[in-house]
Structure 1
């Protein structure tokens, strides 16, 4: 199975940091955000990764190269003018094809999360029936108190207004979800909501850590957290 990291956004809420650096290359704990994703994908047994980019995309290619230092093989979907999330995935679909597997992982490039991606790799090997997408959800952070989607008792996601969790930006998607769509498909949210209305989207709850690194303040907080972890780790030896 392949994975896609979404890295084409301009990171406007992160200015001035993103005027000269694309958001996925911003550093926390001494490493680019995207490096943590590549490491976790490798640990989950995924070797082929597609990264889409637009804003300062050359820097992403120069920094990550072919992916060899991370133990993965990277292909780039160069958008030029950034497409929205669903459109970016549709554009990259030919690169995401894998013999005998219509599933692929998608991760937002501007998050940090300790979710074990091998959970989704196993699920792709034995997928739930009548399902086009499996989204990883977590508790609502202070800056997004109302959440995104409701996870019901059967494990299905709905757009209900009550008792919602926040979408982590980590998902297992099937090519079917994008049938009939072009790279002008817009954002992923409406595509997912249409599939939810047909009861074809499931959710997994992640009780662990998750950070939407959307502002300089949250980046600094994550940097302090990861730095502390590194120092604690070294202190034990």
Structure 2
């Protein structure tokens, strides 16, 4: 699932007429970079949620055939936050006992997605990275045994890439709901694992960081 329902308010005025996933860097929209990486990893059945200017996303991507994937859309009248969007999309994502990959639509990464595999126990695997300048405090502590904790210690930043099990959302009603409280609750029970990605990662949250990614990709494409 690619999360693409946000309004992109920090990206204004760019997102007043264009949804953030369709903003371009390196000659392609942000969401297309995700789709290409997912297809390269053998992940071809995709779900995309959207709200703000979502019709533009559907019009641009269609059913995914041009990209070698199959896309289903989960339409939200208003953004439901991360967990709320996932809960609404669950019937498209999974049966009652399986894992699925979730990626924030407003990031860029060079992670080999084939490295991801569900932990032997638990409900989630989160990919973490070194703290960027705009988020120096990080999010979670990765323990030596691979478990994640929300507490004191050397924190890393959550990349917005995760493997989640359907049971993480068991018994939750549809509606507006954030993911972080669910993850913290699961961490308290030792049910969340972490993977430290030491490669490139960018949170494309501002026009300046979009420009940074554009320059990076154009430089790579020129090599």
TM-score bracket relative to the smaller structure: over 0.9
1:165 alignment counterpart: 156
Report the RMSD for the aligned CA atoms in angstroms.
Answer: 1.1
Aligned-partner SS, 2:146: coil
Q: CA deviation at 1:177?
A: 0.4
1:108 alignment counterpart: 104
Conservation of the 8 A alpha-carbon contact between 2:97 and 2:167:
no
Question: Could you state the TM-score of these two structures normalised by the residue count of structure 2?
Answer: 0.97
Deviations 1:132-167 (A, max 9, x none): 000000000000000000000110000013200000
Q: CA deviation at 1:15?
A: 0.4
Conservation of the 8 A alpha-carbon contact between 1:34 and 1:109:
yes
2:203 alignment counterpart: 212
Q: Within 2, Cα distance between the matches of 1:160 and 1:196?
A: 10
1:181 alignment counterpart: 172
Aligned partner of 1:200 among 162, 168, 191: 191
Conservation of the 8 A alpha-carbon contact between 1:86 and 1:183:
no
Q: CA deviation at 1:5?
A: 0.3
Conservation of the 8 A alpha-carbon contact between 2:119 and 2:125:
no
1:235 alignment counterpart: none
How many correspondences in the alignment?
A: 223
Question: Could you state the TM-score of these two structures normalised by the residue count of structure 1?
Answer: 0.92
Aligned partner of 2:25 among 28, 37, 49: 28
Q: CA deviation at 1:186?
A: 1.0
Say whether 1:58 aligns with 2:24: no
Q: Unaligned stretches of 5+ in structure 2? A: none
Q: Within 1, Cα distance between the matches of 2:206 and 2:148?
A: 28
Distance 1:197 1:185, change over 3 A: farther
Deviations 1:108-143 (A, max 9, x none): 0000000111112xx1xxx32321000000000000
2:89 alignment counterpart: 92
**1:139-150 equivalent positions in 2, closer than 5 A:** 139-150=130-141
Runs of 4+ displaced beyond 4 Å: none
